[in-house]
């Protein structure tokens, strides 16, 4: 009888081994829902996202798990894991004897491999059929996978209480540390939970059963402090929401200390200007050399439904106003239409049925291209938009990644002044491209992301010169940043959308490109939403914070020195491209007022108007102190005011002339 039982056992063992070897390769972790742990560029946690089954579960790799945890887990769960074929007969017999014969407390005889099978397949191993299925499948796993692979599967699937699965998720939730950095005490405590996850999991910050188990394995040692799921970080929500999920740990490009500093400034700014109706703002900071997004704030307060705080404004399509004019000027520089000193006319002009105006309602006559860009005059920009070719501005913006859903004719020349809606990320990409010498790269959100091949959109000379044209004295900065503000050049441009719905400021300084938006998520108008008044102060507040955090050096001028740019008569030009021939002498001649004549303004109110008259082509447009008086074929009469004035005239051919006028007071 004894020989018969032994033979039967041997036959069963051989049959089980044959089944394990001949069975198809079983899945190990196929279709197991996995979480994503997002960190900043330094590895600081940003968020631990739920898997599709609403559990926290991260894939485990043995090289990323503390050896202390591996040893403690094997000691608790399966001391002979390295030697058995998936099933430990002695443990099974002991478990069956204690559970079914002696009827004492249930004793588990499952190996780690058998636990992987139960956790993966959801078997009911309390029944004989379920237990046999578990044994056969465990043997099959051992036949097709290495011990390391099976142990990694266990550390991915093991229950650590509630909806927390796997050692990596448990270490990050309970101890706020990656599994590889667990201390011996933390590892020992964590290894105790899977044996009884319902009772021992410290889900509320503590568990009597877990504390008792700690005291049993480490008498006299202090109990370990733990965190809970409520304490999980939820940083940079709009940024993290932009990063595609991937199983495991995703290291992003975000710099969390910088993000936090900019968030504080932006939030404080909005609070301080609530009385002007400013309730929302957004910002994006890009490291130019790497195209990495180092900070992204999609709204002033993610948790505030009153401002639709969960809407990521950096991805919303809004009118940029004049914020993209530097790119248009760079295109015109590259095509040889202008150089920084080229005179452009800011005069009342009709482009077919389109009669553009400026946001301040004024025209200021002829002025150098540099000033036309800095002062954001619309007529010069629209004129350039009509002259650039191969590519035109529409095609150029498409190459820069702007989503333009309508054909070019739909936007016409209004593209130059914000006639097409784009998102903040497109604006940031354009300024990063200019600072990178005309090379466009996709913005990077993760450190291991595959980037599309960079594209050259402009020559280095045109891209850098367009930015240099934006250089001007920075707004005064209060102490303690005054010295810093004077040191670092900033190349910036503001924008105001039509109807005062969006205020923009965008620019480059040091190694960074920064874009700021102020407005309302629902797009309603607000007279306070002017780029120079609403967005520019916030822009420079953020610049000052970044200056205070690290010493920043100007990168633009060194980059310009490495190009073919040349100085001609004090202005940078593109040799062989810029129109540097001496300008035609203006044919326009001002006849009245005459030079050297002083006009008298009488307090009695009987002062007569001063005739403005010139010899030139077509109607003459007149300006006094940058204020447009109008156009006329003959004399135009100007009611004078006391003081010194500059009268300027522009004719239909673009010729211009200016005359100083003095008006004195008489009784």
E strands, 156-234, are 164-165
Based on the domain organization, do 530 and 593 belong to the same domain?
no
- State how many domains the chain has: 3
Q: Which of 66, 91, 322, 459 is catalytic?
A: 322
**Token pair for residue 191?**
């290894």
For residue 315, what is the DSSP state?
Answer: G
Residue 22's pLDDT is what?
58
Task: Compute φ and ψ for 455, nearest 5 degrees.
Answer: -120, 135
Task: Give dist(CA 658, CA 646) in Å, integer.
Answer: 7
Q: Which of 66, 77, 91, 319 is catalytic?
A: 77
Residue 406's pLDDT is what?
95
Could you tell me the CATH number of the domain that includes residue 622? 2.60.40.10
Place of tokens 């997002």: 38
Residue 578 lies in a domain: no
Domain that holds residue 328: 283-566
Based on the domain organization, do 75 and 126 belong to the same domain?
yes
Per-residue pLDDT of 510-534, as tens digits, reads 999 999 999 999 999 999 999 999 9
Q: Taking Cα atoms as reference points, which of 445, 539, 427 lies closest to residue 254?
A: 445
Residue 616's pLDDT is what?
81
For residue 535, what is the DSSP state?
Answer: I
Based on the domain organization, do 211 and 322 belong to the same domain?
no
Residue 253 lies in a domain: no
For residue 280, what are the β-bridge partners? Answer: 519
Residue 209 lies in a domain: yes
Task: Give dist(CA 522, CA 519) in Å, integer.
Answer: 9
User: 3-class SS at 597?
Assistant: coil
Based on the domain organization, do 395 and 449 belong to the same domain?
yes
Residue at which a domain ends, from 206, 230, 254 = 230
Could you tell me the CATH number of the domain that includes residue 423? 3.40.710.10
For residue 252, what is the DSSP state?
Answer: B
SS (H, E, C) 357-414: CCCCCCCCEEEEHHHHHHCCCHHHHHHHHHHCCCCCHHHHHHHCCCCCCCCHHHHHHH
Residue 99's pLDDT is what?
55
Residue 475 lies in a domain: yes
Task: Give dist(CA 224, CA 216) in Å, integer.
Answer: 14
Based on the domain organization, do 603 and 558 belong to the same domain?
no
Could you tell me the CATH number of the domain that includes residue 108? 1.10.3810.10
Check if 459 is active-site: no
Residue 304's pLDDT is what?
96
Within a 10 A sphere around the Cβ of 241, how many other Cβ atoms?
16
Based on the domain organization, do 315 and 196 belong to the same domain?
no
Task: Compute φ and ψ for 240, nearest 5 degrees.
Answer: -60, -35
Residue 194's pLDDT is what?
94
Residue 276 lies in a domain: no
Task: Give dist(CA 497, CA 607) in Å, integer.
Answer: 42
Task: Give dist(CA 136, CA 148) in Å, integer.
Answer: 20
CA geometry: angle 558, 560, 566, nearest 5 deg = 130
Residue 9's pLDDT is what?
43
Residue 662's pLDDT is what?
85
Check if 442 is active-site: no
**Token pair for residue 357?**
């105006």
Based on the domain organization, do 29 and 97 belong to the same domain?
yes
Based on the domain organization, do 192 and 300 belong to the same domain?
no
Based on the domain organization, do 212 and 311 belong to the same domain?
no
DSSP β-ladder status, 598-602 and 656-666? parallel
The set of residues, in sequence order, having a beta carbon less than 8 Å from that of 300 and lying 6+ positions away, is 266, 267, 270, 279, 280, 281, 282, 307, 309
Based on the domain organization, do 543 and 441 belong to the same domain?
yes
Task: Give dist(CA 31, CA 112) in Å, integer.
Answer: 20
Task: Give dist(CA 266, CA 126) in Å, integer.
Answer: 59
Sign of CA dihedral 7, 10, 16, 18: negative
CB 37 within 8 A of CB 249: yes
Task: Give dist(CA 428, CA 288) in Å, integer.
Answer: 10
Residue 275 lies in a domain: no
Residue 292 lies in a domain: yes
Spans of the chain, pLDDT less than 70: 1-23, 90-109, 476-486, 581-585, 587, 601-607, 653-654, 667
Q: Taking Cα atoms as reference points, which of 246, 187, 247 lies closest to residue 217?
A: 187
DSSP β-ladder status, 365-368 and 343-346? antiparallel
Residue 467 lies in a domain: yes
Based on the domain organization, do 562 and 424 belong to the same domain?
yes
Based on the domain organization, do 505 and 602 belong to the same domain?
no
Q: Taking Cα atoms as reference points, which of 143, 72, 151 lies closest to residue 111?
A: 151
């Amino acid at each position: 009888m004894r020989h018969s039982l032994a033979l039967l056992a041997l036959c069963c063992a051989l049959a089980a081994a044959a089944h394990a070897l001949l069975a198809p390769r079983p899945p190990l972790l196929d279709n197991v829902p996995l979480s994503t742990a997002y960190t900043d560029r330094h590895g600081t946690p940003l968020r631990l996202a739920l898997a599709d089954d609403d559990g926290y579960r991260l894939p485990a790799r043995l090289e990323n798990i503390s050896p202390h945890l591996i040893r403690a887990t094997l000691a608790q769960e399966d001391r002979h894991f390295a030697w058995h074929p998936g099933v430990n007969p002695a443990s099974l017999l002991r478990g069956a004897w204690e559970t079914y014969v002696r009827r004492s407390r249930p004793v588990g005889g499952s190996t780690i491999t058998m636990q992987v099978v139960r956790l993966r397949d959801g078997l009911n191993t309390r029944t004989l059929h379920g237990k046999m299925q578990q044994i056969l499948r465990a043997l099959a796993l051992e036949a097709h996978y290495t011990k390391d692979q099976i142990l990694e599967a266990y550390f991915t699937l093991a229950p650590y209480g509630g909806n927390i699965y796997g050692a990596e998720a448990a270490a990050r939730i309970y101890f706020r540390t990656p599994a590889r950095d667990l201390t011996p005490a933390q590892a020992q405590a964590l290894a105790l939970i899977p044996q009884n996850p319902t009772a021992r999991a410290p889900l509320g910050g503590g568990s009597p059963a877990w504390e008792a188990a700690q005291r049993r394995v480490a008498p006299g040692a202090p109990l370990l402090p733990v965190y809970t799921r409520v304490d999980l970080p939820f940083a940079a929500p709009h940024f993290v929401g932009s990063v595609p999920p991937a199983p495991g740990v995703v290291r992003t490009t975000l710099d969390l200390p910088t993000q936090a500093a900019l968030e504080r400034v932006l939030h404080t700014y909005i609070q301080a200007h609530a009385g002007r109706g400013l309730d929302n703002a957004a910002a994006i900071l890009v490291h130019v050399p790497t195209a990495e997004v180092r900070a992204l704030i999609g709204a002033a307060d993610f948790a505030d439904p009153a401002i639709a705080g969960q809407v990521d404004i950096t991805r919303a399509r809004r009118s940029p106003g004049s914020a993209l004019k530097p790119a248009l000027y760079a295109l015109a520089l590259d095509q040889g239409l202008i150089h920084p000193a080229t005179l452009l006319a800011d005069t009342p002009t009709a482009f077919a049925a389109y009669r553009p105006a400026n946001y301040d309602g004024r025209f200021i006559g002829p002025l150098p291209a540099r000033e036309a860009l800095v002062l954001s005059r619309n007529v010069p920009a629209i004129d350039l938009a009509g002259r650039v070719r191969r590519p035109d501005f529409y095609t150029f913006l498409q190459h820069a990644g702007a989503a333009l859903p309508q054909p070019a004719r739909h936007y016409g020349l209004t593209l130059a002044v914000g006639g097409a809606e784009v998102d903040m990320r497109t604006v940031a990409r354009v300024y990063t491209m200019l600072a990178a010498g005309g090379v466009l790269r996709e913005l990077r959100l993760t450190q291991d992301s595959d980037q599309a091949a960079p594209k050259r959109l402009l020559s280095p000379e045109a891209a850098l010169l367009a930015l240099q044209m934006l250089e001007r004295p920075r707004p005064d900065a209060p102490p303690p940043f005054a010295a810093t503000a004077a040191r670092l050049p900033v190349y910036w441009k503001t924008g105001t959308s039509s109807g005062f719905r969006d205020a923009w400021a965008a620019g480059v300084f040091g190694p960074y490109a920064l874009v700021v938006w102020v407005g309302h998520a629902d797009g309603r108008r607000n007279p306070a939403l002017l780029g120079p008044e609403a967005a520019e102060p916030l822009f420079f507040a953020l610049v000052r914070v970044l200056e205070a955090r690290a010493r920043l050096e100007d990168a633009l001028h060194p980059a310009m020195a490495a190009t073919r740019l040349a100085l001609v008569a004090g202005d940078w030009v593109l040799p062989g491209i810029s129109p540097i021939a001496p300008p035609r002498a203006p044919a326009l001649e001002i006849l009245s007022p005459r030079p050297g004549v002083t006009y008298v303004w009488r307090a009695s109110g009987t002062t007569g108007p001063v005739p403005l008259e010139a010899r030139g082509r077509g109607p003459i447009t007149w300006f006094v102190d940058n204020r447009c008086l109008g156009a006329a074929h003959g004399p135009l009469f100007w009611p004078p005011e006391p003081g010194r004035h500059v009268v300027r005239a522009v004719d239909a051919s673009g010729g211009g002339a200016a005359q100083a006028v003095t008006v004195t007071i008489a009784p």
